[in-house]
Structure 1
Amino acid sequence: MAATPETVHWRGVHHLALVTADMDATVRFWHGVLDARLVTTLAVPAFKHYFFEVGTGNTVAFFEYTDQDLDSFAKPAGVPYAKAAQFDHLALHLPDEDALNRLRDRLKAHGCEVTDVIDHGFLRSIYFSDPNGIAMEASWWTVDPTGRPVDYADERLFADPDPVPAVRELREEGRLRHTVATRLVDGIVEDLRREGITLDP
């Protein structure tokens, strides 16, 4: 189908959804170390889902699944590795509901399966997949928590009724009592060489 004058008005990455086995440590690192402010949280029995601002309108979000063992690993950036599965879905940012509906219509016109608009309270979304099977979402903030002071008592945005300790510290004290340290990956180069992958040019 040829391009039309009515273009999609993307505004960057709404949120990149990743997976964590320890949401408390994740808050302490992303908010406390990287200074990517925690701007909203939600929780249902199956998971917690927390969002960190990486630019106005743009966030990185994490899921912590309830009672779910994860096969975790660590790898350097840009190196192929078979266990690279630290990814849930990519959500792209749109300016408003009209843009969301237009994109939904566009996807349908191209023969792509897409959900109805899902109202998550502080954001509305549609869900679809790319040809590689990557789970995709397009969203717009109904209550944009980025680019403004954070109110940790605002239950529209901080809906987790039992937040991790780091969030309680932010709510009660306005700061984190401590952060977490990280390390460079040990042994990954040897693991890659055993699998026949070389890093030499």
Structure 2
Amino acid sequence: MPATPDPVRWRGVHHLALVTTDMDATVRFWHGVLDARLVATLAVPAFRHYFFEVGPGSTIAFFEYTDQELERFAKPAGVPYAKASQFDHLSLHLPDEDALHRLRDRLKAHGCEVTDVIDHGFLRSIYFSDPNGIALEASWWTTDPTGRPADHADGRLFADPDPVPAVRELRENGALAHTVATRLVDGVIEDLRREGVELDRPSG
């Protein structure tokens, strides 16, 4: 069931753009270890941009910038870190428990550290990292909430005992009372100003 009367026709994630400082190692891990086929590449003087297929029409893409020093960090999934304020981890979808165990065995065979299977109730997962320190998860739905009407009163899937107001509105009224507006560049400009960088604001 669509969220609005005039639905956006989503078809999954086209690509999630991440950053690497070593595209060769990234190809060897994502294509070689994870078996996410390298399906497209492009390059301009400023960067490379490579795409790995994780499902029909869905890719994970990496930028490798030219002559740009980047401060790297690594963090586990679900652990807050000030430098990762907008991204925590990426979870890739698997079809069933067997596929989850086979991926875990494959990671271990390639010398990659990986957790045991973690049961989260409506999904089960394993956790690992890529060579860039990006926290990764592979999951399968034990109870798949997608592709069917959502029951916001179903405690198996909506388990927050004190949900945010938007969820209460959906549960009680079946719709949101209001949405929020966003701006295109102001947040970026504010972040840069904190680092001592001033940009000319576009006119108009």
TM (norm. structure 1) is: 0.55
Q: Percent identity, aligned pairs only?
A: 71
Q: What is the distance in 2 between the residues matched to 1:194 and 1:168? A: 42
Query: What pairs up with 1:50-89 in 2 under 5 angstroms?
Result: 85-89=85-89
| CA 1:96–1:84: 2 relative to 1, 3 Å | closer
The equivalent residue for 1:51 is none
**One-letter amino acid of the structure 1 residue matched with residue 120 of structure 2:** H
Matched, 1:106 2:106: yes
TM superposition shift of 1:185:
2.1
Give the distance between the partners of 1:94 and 1:10, measured in 2 at CA. Answer: 10
CA distance in 2, matches of 1:187, 1:145: 33
Distance change (3 Å), C-alpha of 1:111 and 1:197: farther
**3-state SS of paired residue (1:104):** helix
Deviation at 1:182, TM superposition (A): 1.3
Separation in 2 of the partners of 1:187 and 1:144?
Answer: 35
Instruction: Quote the Cα distance in structure 1 between the aligned partners of 2:97 and 2:175.
Output: 35
1:77-115 Cα deviation digits (max 9, x unpaired): xxxxxx674110010000000000000000000011100
Paired residue for 2:137?
A: 137
- How many corresponding residue pairs? 133
Q: Is the 8 A contact 1:11 1:92 kept in 2?
A: no
Equivalent residues in 2 for 1:22-41, closer than 5 Å: none
Partner of 1:167: 167
- Name the SS for the 1:136 alignment partner: strand
**Which runs of 5 or more structure 1 residues have no equivalent in the other structure?**
17-62, 72-82
Does the residue aligned with 2:128 lie in a helix, a strand or coil? strand
Query: Residues 130 and 152 from structure 1, CA distance in 2 versus in 1: closer, same or farther, beyond 3 angstroms?
Result: same
Q: Compute the displacement of 1:186 (Å).
A: 2.4
2:151 alignment partner, SS class: coil
Report the TM-score, using the length of structure 2 for normalisation.
0.54
RMSD after superposition:
3.8
Residues 183, 106 of structure 1: alpha-carbon distance in 2 compared, 3 angstrom cutoff: same
Please tell me whether residue 146 in structure 1 is matched to residue 134 in structure 2: no
Q: Residue 116 of structure 2 aligns with which residue?
A: 116
Which is greater in Rg? 2
| Partner SS for 2:121 | coil
Partners of 1:143 and 1:177 in 2: how far apart?
28
Letter in 1 for 2:143: V
Distance (Å, rounded) in 1 between the aligned partners of 2:101 and 2:145:
22
- Structure 2: which 5+ residue stretches go unaligned? 1-27, 37-52, 61-77
| Cα distance in 2 for residues equivalent to 1:189 and 1:178 | 27
Higher relative contact order (CA 8 A, sep 6+): 1
Partner of 1:53: none
Q: Determine the structure 2 residue equivalent to 1:180.
A: 180
CA distance in 1, matches of 2:173, 2:136: 37
